[in-house]
Structure 1
Amino acid sequence: MAYMLMSLRAVNHRLTSLPVQQLPAIAGSLAASIAECGELLSTPPSQKTGKTDSDHSVQVHKLVTRLSSLLQDRTCEGRWAAVVLVKALVEAGQWEILRGSEPFVRGLMGILNKSDPASTKTMAVVTLTRIFHLTYQYPTLVREITTPSLPGFVTTTLNLVSVKQSSDPTRRLKPNTPFLDVVLRAYTELIARHPTIFRPFTSQIHNILQAIVGATSASYPQPVVDIAEQLFIALHNCAPKNTGGEEWKNACRMTITSIHATSSHVLRAIVEQWEAVDPSVRHQLGHSIDYVQEVGSSGPDALGLSAWRGLDMGVNRLLALLRMLSTFLKTATASTVTIPVGSILDLTARLMSVTVPSDAGGVQPNAQISRTEREILFAELPRIHTACMKVLRTLVNTLETAALPVTQTILEQTLWVFRAERSNKKIRTSVYGLIDSLLKQMGPSMNKKNVSSLTDIIRTCCSDILPSDGEKEPSTDAKGKSKTNPGAVNADFFLNPNLKQNRQMNFPTKFPIPNRAASTLLSTILTNMPTEFIAPPIRAEIDRTIIMTSDKNAMYASVLNPFPAIKGRGATISIMPFLARSYASEMDVEALIRPRMPVLTNSNSIGHYVDVEDEEEENEETEPVSFSETRTAPETTGFLKQSTTPNLQDLVDSTPSSNKRVYTEDLSVTSSPRPTLPETAEEVQVKKARFESVSTNLNQPATSIPSALAPNATTQANSVQEDSSMLDVSFSGRASAVVEQSTSISQVVTPTLAEDDSDDEMPTLNMESDTDEEDEE
């Protein structure tokens, strides 16, 4: 707060001590200092603590008073600096400054009525718009400041850009007015928040917008035309209660009707094969066209736009209406609206079915129209088709998944234009963008036929991405002789041999815009289309293109969506090595190649840090006793001496005679960490194991080995098949089993081999405890 107080004191000092003529030069730095004091300016007086509370209030009051006086200053310099600083002050102070901004509003409105420079009035309009915008979230301030001042603001700004005669109810735009852009933007921002205040001025604003939107020549800059179209659509907010959606729908349908009417005059040089689906449209287009006069409209259209003459003006009017239709689809509305999808697709089908004819024809000319007008129309068709594809792309992006029922129709219309006008770079750019939007919605549901229809687009896309080739080498015949036409040889290459080499090394790309759109389309194709339906040559061309251009996004899409392995097509190929080589320093490439995903377990310690020492102690306490540890014998038993391996036949002859399970009655618990085998078999009672008889013919391979033997017996059984003369099983000591109990004390049960004459099959040795009641008895 102390720093802010010093900054605010410095601003007041400079505003009062410096001459007014020097304030415009330092207005920027003063506005920045005020913006840094936002916390001090926006703090209510009740929350300020400390000894300097009075100084805070004094400095803020001093600043507000000085700016109010500068708004009434006699010099233009003082008023301009005051406008700039007032905007910075209300943005930094928020409600604390806004509640006392009524003197600022009156001073700014006075500036609009004075003969100040255009820059001062422009900044005054911006500042007033900002004040009205900030007060919207405070109903009390809206009632006290915005509602009384906004009607006067609208009237004053309308007088800045237009003139209204007393006898004429309509307004006429002033020529070359510098305030048109800022005024239209102010209306666009405020009309949705205060529709009832703008309702009395709707007709006057509509007259101004008709002159801008309906202009057939380049009378207004494109940004002004764009903001005028947005304001034209936003006028539906001023409709009476609960009728805004219907007003929007009617305006959209009138726009479509106006496009049809204009298209009838523009396309009169050919015989159209299109027929309207909507009966109302057929009725409106049933009027005869006078082919004797120059192409043009005779009066205002459905939107009230003025008449036009000449094919060039007609094409400009058609493009303006198509742009406005796109704006209708992408502009947010306050209420729910109904989009006439069928009428829009019917309109685009009419315009996109007329394509530039090839050498073989394809378009039926109108004999009553001259060839010159028809050729001019063919030259303008790519511009019309580009605007149509923009409308379709906006429709798909607005509806998203709701556009799935019509995506196939849109795809077919796009292919009509691409096949006929692929040589035009604007057409290719528009096609790439529209196909990209379509694939994001319908890509996963495409079948093999739909994917095959995009083959030409994919090949052209790859051709646009790759840089242009250098001079072609002269072709040679079968004998190796050059067949270059002497008349086509560039003589400059003979005079300067380095020219050809430099041209091949420093070649530029073909078209920057199709390059970006094509690169995005390739990534979308690999991500959204079923890769199994893409032909192997097409996929190879796509991978080759993205490798040569080092397109990171496309390479990622290729790696993450590999070509599926299909029987008879060889091994799956990935371009991951090229990705790793091109972007070796990227962290996302490192994560893709060598992921560090930790092992997830069902442990309660997931997400918690574990002490390493505690974890080691816990592992030592709960470490299970291995089988090799249970067989450890004391030194007096001769453990280190080599034990005699018994013959397998001896083990077979000593099979136990009973299958009755007998368990230990009292097991001794040892406290040593390594339990040893008991020295005598009488110390414990064990259950008797049973073996099935084995043939004495050792030449036959052993098909089964008793599982009651030690684990070493299993490992030694493999050597039995290698040596048929002798089958030895390593068996040292008695077999033992390890039983882990809840007290973490290992108890060793040593089974003994008893004789048994039973011929039953050997049961599986159960390592778990058995609690059958019969055995306990």
Structure 2
Amino acid sequence: MAPHMAELATLRALTFRLSTTPTAQLPQHVPAITASLANCRSLLSSNQASDTRSSSEASLAIHRYWKLVSNLLQDKTTLQGRWAGIVLIKATIEVGGWEMLQKSLPWVRGLLTALNKPDPPSSKKLCIITLTRIFVLTREYPTLVREITTPSLPAFIQACLQLATPKASTSLLQTILECFNQLVPRHPAMFRTYLKPLLQLVGHTMAPTPSSKLAAEQSSSQKLHVSSGVSDAARRLYVQLPCCAPKGASNEEWDKGLKNTIANAHRIADKVFRAVVEDWQSPLRGASTTNGHTLDDEVQDLGSDSMSLPPWTGIFGGSERLVNLLRLVKEHLIAPTASVVNLQVGVIVDLITRMLSLTVPSTGAKNFQNSVRFNNQVGKEERENLWLILPQVHVAAIEILLALSHRSEDSMSALGLLVLDQLVWVFNAEKDTPQIRTASYLAVAQLIRRSGASLPKPSTDQLSGMIRSCCDDILPSEPIAVAPNQASTQNKACGTSQQTSTNVDAFLKSVDSKDPAANFDGLKQSAYNLLSVLLTSVRAQYLSDSIRARIDRTAVLAQHKDAMLASILNPPPSKKFGKPAASILPLMARSYAHDKDVEGLLRPRMPVIRVGIQEAEVEDDMEEEMIENIEEPDENNERFVGEELDTLLETAGQTEALAADSAMADAPGLGFGSELARDTPSPFAMPIAFGSNTTKLATELAPGGSKRPQSEDILPSLTKRVKVDVEAKEKAPAQIPATAVAITAQTSEIAETPITTLAEPSSLQSPKLLDTPAVAGEGSDDDDDDIVHLVLGQDTDDDSD
């Protein structure tokens, strides 16, 4: 309740302000009133049919406001009152919605009456805009369309056509055409009866020829003041008029209009391009109607036109007509249609090919583009005027190409190479014109974005000149200053100097150096877009080192973030094996240190995402192997501590007899050394014979410790080692140096007695069991009882036997 009370108070205040302000001063107060009216949206759009006290008060306030606005609209004394009433009606309709629309029929009638009054163009424009807004909003409600739009729209169309006279101002004419553009697609049936006057109106406005020499001879009743905005609105209206055709015939009318426009463009081109002999031959149309016997003294078109276009004379008037027709073709491509239409791309591409096949000859005598053949029946002046208007024609043709690329999307990739060659051809001939550079940058960027990855290297090499020009437009070079000593020239033949005129201002340095390309809209922006597209879509190996260095330099100096990112993500190929090419990533990290995308390049935090089932399976197998390798050491240690020693003891007992039989054949006698060599398996004799840390090994195997210490080197199975040693013994009977170790049970002292014998070189590769003589206690029985024979891998305790 509180919000409605606040809005009610606001509406009462606005009503009081309108009623107390003099009518002549209302235009100054209307902007503030309309701004405050937005605060009453809920109140004006709510239904006030209830019988409550608050509802009745709100209904009374709304009725007072509505009555006051109606009185302002019907004011017959002052123009300011009607102007204020029109503005308030539009604001109230947009704020109130359906509640205000269903009460707006008296307002619509008053607006139509005001439209026929001799008010200034500003009031008529506001009246047309307000009525158009009402007709657009009522389309969503069939009941309101039947009650308001259907009886009022024909009168509105007729009133607007009566206002579109030669005396009408340009702004009023543009407003009428824009309103028709809004209403024709929404109410096509009501405009069907007005097609003929509408075609006459757009025929005089969509392709103007202000440079025509017939303009001065035309009467004022036939001449309309046409600006670029009026011609654009008229072309959009002409494209939408086919939807007014009967049901099912709109697509045929649209196709007929497009073909008629293209045929008219070819006919005008025959007259404008008569100064040269064209190499273009269209397979889709007949021979040209212009030949040497039908040439007029001046380029002109005075005959009847199938599109109701006015006549023209002069090459400049013909160029303006040709450019406007090309823009009309572009409007056919970009404008929405009421139904599905069939587009013949070949006809449009044929028109583009003809427009781009003729270029301005270059000044170089050896340039291959100087192959233009001149028509000797046409004067030099007309030929030079043709070179002057050609860039405008080429820009209009490139705009058609852009529109076709946007509409056809990926279907244009098949024509990419052909169109790209023509664009490069035109650019190399007319790159001094900023409009040509802008249009070429946009078109090439669009084509490369679609088919840059499939672009071959020869086509990429053709873009070198355009890439250099693009970099120069982004970073213009400084003007070259002429040295002061070049002001005077000396004739060396005569020995005299000739004084020439010198510009004194040239010695003064300009403080404010301006960019020469800054005055052309879109040039630098199109060059910016092309630079990033080149680095993104073109293969890096197809760009030469100098071109790539120039692009990277321009991107860094201009602080072009998108181009720098594209350069980092698409690096140039490396010239040295195993060494990556230079990257501008450090420079970008310094310039954009706080950007999230740069941070993602420098320090990626996401894991690598592999694509494909096989790579995922390989990665899972590697992870499982890593987990098993981590778990295996613990299991091996636990098994080694408890079970390893028992296994060694059992294996040693089984192989003792085999080792003894092998040693009996060569044993000279029985003693401690022979028993040690007999009982010790050969794998454990090798470390004792050749190892350097024999003392440490004997200490670790003292009687105090019953378990084998853990070691990272796991020896192979004893059974396998015994078999290898037995075979080695049979093959190599020579003896090798050995060391016998004796450990007493009481004192735990370690005695080492090296006994060296001669051995063959082959004994190093094939070790065998050795017979070692007694070391200590041979003559004393007590000492022999105290001596315990050491057998490695076997328990030294007596109970173990």
State whether TM-score is above 0.5. yes
Map of 1:43 onto structure 2 = 46
- SS at 1:232's partner residue? helix
Q: Does 1:381 align with 2:390?
A: yes
| Aligned counterpart in structure 2 of residue 132 of structure 1, from 123, 132, 135 | 135
Q: Does 1:205 align with 2:207?
A: no
- Supply the distance in 2 between the matched residues of 1:289 and 1:530 (Cα, whole angstroms): 53
| C-alpha distance after superposition, 1:687-736 (max 9, x if no partner) | xxxxx9847444999xxxxxxxxxxxxxxxxxx9xx88899799999699
Distance 1:44 1:402, change over 3 A: farther
Map of 1:422 onto structure 2 = 431
**1:276, 1:346 within 8 Å by CA — same for their partners in 2?**
yes
132-141 vs 587-596, which moves further: 587-596
Q: Does 1:275 align with 2:268?
A: no
Distance 1:626 1:78, change over 3 A: farther
**2:300, 2:318 within 8 Å by CA — same for their partners in 1?**
yes
Map of 2:266 onto structure 1 = 260
Q: How far 1:324 sits from its partner (Å)?
A: 1.1
Task: Give the alignment of 1:211-250 within 5 angstroms.
Answer: 211-217=204-210, 219-250=225-256
Supply the AA of the counterpart residue of 2:162. N
Q: How far 1:322 sits from its partner (Å)?
A: 1.0
Supply the AA of the counterpart residue of 1:139. P
Bigger radius of gyration among the two: 2
Map of 1:577 onto structure 2 = 586
Supply the AA of the counterpart residue of 1:182. T
Q: Does 1:54 align with 2:56?
A: yes
| Aligned counterpart in structure 1 of residue 405 of structure 2, from 392, 396, 411 | 396
Q: Does 1:144 align with 2:147?
A: yes
* Larger fraction in helix: 2
| Aligned counterpart in structure 1 of residue 569 of structure 2, from 548, 557, 560 | 560
Supply the AA of the counterpart residue of 1:252. L
Q: How far 1:94 sits from its partner (Å)?
A: 0.6
Q: Does 1:337 align with 2:341?
A: yes
Distance 1:475 1:96, change over 3 A: same
- Supply the distance in 2 between the matched residues of 1:734 and 1:7 (Cα, whole angstroms): 100
Task: Give the alignment of 1:394-473 within 5 angstroms.
Answer: 394-471=403-480
* Count of residues paired in the alignment: 633
| Aligned counterpart in structure 2 of residue 33 of structure 1, from 36, 60, 75 | 36
Task: Give the alignment of 1:134-213 within 5 angstroms.
Answer: 134-162=137-165, 173-174=166-167, 176=169, 178-213=171-206
- SS at 2:312's partner residue? coil
Q: Please, what TM-score do these two structures have when normalized by structure 2? A: 0.72
| C-alpha distance after superposition, 1:318-364 (max 9, x if no partner) | 11111111111111111111222111111121121111112433111
409-418 vs 569-578, which moves further: 569-578
Q: Does 1:350 align with 2:348?
A: no
- Supply the distance in 1 between the matched residues of 2:323 and 2:140 (Cα, whole angstroms): 39
- Supply the distance in 2 between the matched residues of 1:516 and 1:453 (Cα, whole angstroms): 22
Map of 2:530 onto structure 1 = 521
- SS at 2:286's partner residue? helix
- Supply the distance in 1 between the matched residues of 2:42 and 2:304 (Cα, whole angstroms): 56
Map of 2:651 onto structure 1 = 657
| C-alpha distance after superposition, 1:287-325 (max 9, x if no partner) | 776324211113123323122111111111111111111
Supply the AA of the counterpart residue of 2:103. G
Map of 2:68 onto structure 1 = 66
Supply the AA of the counterpart residue of 1:293. D
| C-alpha distance after superposition, 1:181-224 (max 9, x if no partner) | 11111100000000000000011011011111232107411111
**1:652, 1:693 within 8 Å by CA — same for their partners in 2?**
no
- Supply the distance in 2 between the matched residues of 1:236 and 1:760 (Cα, whole angstroms): 103
Map of 1:105 onto structure 2 = 108
- SS at 1:104's partner residue? helix
Distance 1:654 1:9, change over 3 A: same
Distance 1:283 1:736, change over 3 A: farther
| Aligned counterpart in structure 2 of residue 322 of structure 1, from 326, 335, 351 | 326
**2:45, 2:99 within 8 Å by CA — same for their partners in 1?**
yes
- Supply the distance in 2 between the matched residues of 1:22 and 1:475 (Cα, whole angstroms): 66
| C-alpha distance after superposition, 1:558-613 (max 9, x if no partner) | 22322244664952222122222223344443444344558999xxxxxxxxxxxx
- Supply the distance in 2 between the matched residues of 1:431 and 1:96 (Cα, whole angstroms): 53
| C-alpha distance after superposition, 1:614-660 (max 9, x if no partner) | xxxxxxxxxx999899999xxxxxxxxxxxxx9xxx9899465399x
Distance 1:626 1:756, change over 3 A: closer
Q: How far 1:544 sits from its partner (Å)?
A: 0.8
- Supply the distance in 1 between the matched residues of 2:457 and 2:292 (Cα, whole angstroms): 46
- SS at 1:179's partner residue? helix
- SS at 1:444's partner residue? coil
**1:655, 1:754 within 8 Å by CA — same for their partners in 2?**
no
Distance 1:51 1:561, change over 3 A: farther
**2:271, 2:290 within 8 Å by CA — same for their partners in 1?**
no
Supply the AA of the counterpart residue of 2:209. T
Map of 2:19 onto structure 1 = 16
Map of 1:747 onto structure 2 = none
- SS at 2:572's partner residue? coil
- Supply the distance in 1 between the matched residues of 2:85 and 2:383 (Cα, whole angstroms): 60
Distance 1:468 1:756, change over 3 A: closer
Distance 1:52 1:470, change over 3 A: same
Q: How far 1:536 sits from its partner (Å)?
A: 2.2
**2:48, 2:56 within 8 Å by CA — same for their partners in 1?**
no
- SS at 2:241's partner residue? helix
What is the Cα-based RMSD across aligned positions, in Å? 4.0
Map of 1:604 onto structure 2 = none
- SS at 1:235's partner residue? helix
- Supply the distance in 2 between the matched residues of 1:212 and 1:697 (Cα, whole angstroms): 111
Map of 2:665 onto structure 1 = none
Distance 1:556 1:508, change over 3 A: farther
- Supply the distance in 2 between the matched residues of 1:102 and 1:388 (Cα, whole angstroms): 48
Q: How far 1:470 sits from its partner (Å)?
A: 4.2
- SS at 1:212's partner residue? coil
Q: Does 1:551 align with 2:546?
A: no
- Supply the distance in 2 between the matched residues of 1:542 and 1:70 (Cα, whole angstroms): 64
**2:683, 2:722 within 8 Å by CA — same for their partners in 1?**
no
- Supply the distance in 2 between the matched residues of 1:282 and 1:65 (Cα, whole angstroms): 68
Map of 2:791 onto structure 1 = none
- SS at 2:277's partner residue? coil
Map of 2:309 onto structure 1 = 305
Supply the AA of the counterpart residue of 1:299. G
| C-alpha distance after superposition, 1:394-450 (max 9, x if no partner) | 111121112112222211211221122222222111111110111111112222222
- SS at 1:233's partner residue? helix
Distance 1:760 1:266, change over 3 A: farther
Q: Does 1:121 align with 2:124?
A: yes
- Supply the distance in 2 between the matched residues of 1:727 and 1:248 (Cα, whole angstroms): 103
Unmatched tracts of structure 2, length 5 or more: 212-224, 486-491, 611-629, 654-680, 725-801
Query: Identity, % of aligned pairs?
Result: 36
- Supply the distance in 1 between the matched residues of 2:688 and 2:549 (Cα, whole angstroms): 60
Supply the AA of the counterpart residue of 1:260. H
**2:683, 2:721 within 8 Å by CA — same for their partners in 1?**
no
Q: Please, what TM-score do these two structures have when normalized by structure 1? A: 0.74
